[in-house]
Every structure is written in C-alpha cells, then in structure tokens.
Amino acid sequence: IIMMVALGLAVTLLMINRITSHRWDLPSSLSFVSLLLSTALVLDLITPFADYFFTSPLPGFIVALAWSLILLPWAMGWFLVRLNHGNTAASIVFVVALLLPAAYYQLKEIVSHYDLLDTFSKRSFYSDTLSPWDKRLQNTLSIDEFAAKSMPLASPDAADR
C-alpha cells in the first residue's frame, strides 16, 4: 500500500512538473516523494518521544503544524522552481492549490485532537506514548509527594480560598 501511495504521489508530482516545467522527469519526482515520505515517517516516530520527554502534547502540535503549513509547501515549491526550473508563478499556484485542502484537513484534525478551540472539555488528553526509557524533564512524583501536594486541595477549607 505504501508503494502505491508513493507511486500515486510521484505521478501527481510528475503531472504538476509537466505543467510547470513542460517536461517529464519521473526519477526526480519519485526521489522527491520518497524523501518526503521518509521525512514524514521520521517525524511521526520522533514526535511521540518528544511529547513524552516534555510531558506535553505541544511538541507534536508544533511539528504537525510546521510540517503541514511550512515544510511541505516550501519543499514542494523548491522542487518545482529550483530543481526542475519550472515557472515560479505556476509552481506556487499549484503548490497552494494542491496542499491547501490537505493543510486545512490536517489543521482541523490537530485542533480537534488537542481541543484547542474548546475552553473546557470533559475529555482529557492523555498521551498514550510508551517509552522504553523514562527520560523526562520533570521527575516522577512519589506517592507520598503526590499525597502531600493533593491534601491541601482536598481539604474542605480549600474551596474558600
């Protein structure tokens, strides 16, 4: 399935390359799509470890946002304009037209996953990342430390504060 997706993306990029630079260049299109898919795979593998290390979903949010709104459009524009010497205006129009729906969908998924538009949600976000190494910026609280921190919050006079 991955090979079919890569081939489909390469053929799509090949058609865009044909329109912008008026030539067929399958090897460079296939190489570029392979590089982008490899980069996306590496980012997908590194992001959960960054989320675990910082004990926050913010690194994953930043990486997903940067990938869909900055890195992918820039790389595709660079490929069409610099590498294949395509027309700059036509290349930019095709990059925007091709990636705008995908960026919108990705941004919508990110916002709904992290509940960014809701001020309160009954559903809490918990990272489901498992790491073989317990490397985090914040140390784990012992049960006694947790109890000591939570006791003042659970006392009846805490509501008066």
Provide the domain limits for residue 63: 2-160
pLDDT in tens, 52-74: 888 877 888 888 888 888 888 88
pLDDT in tens, 13-47: 788 777 777 778 778 877 888 888 899 889 988 88
Of 91, 100, 45, 42, nearest to 69 by C-alpha is 100
d(CA 43, CA 39): 6
Total count of domains within the chain: 1
The predicted model scores a pTM of: 0.66
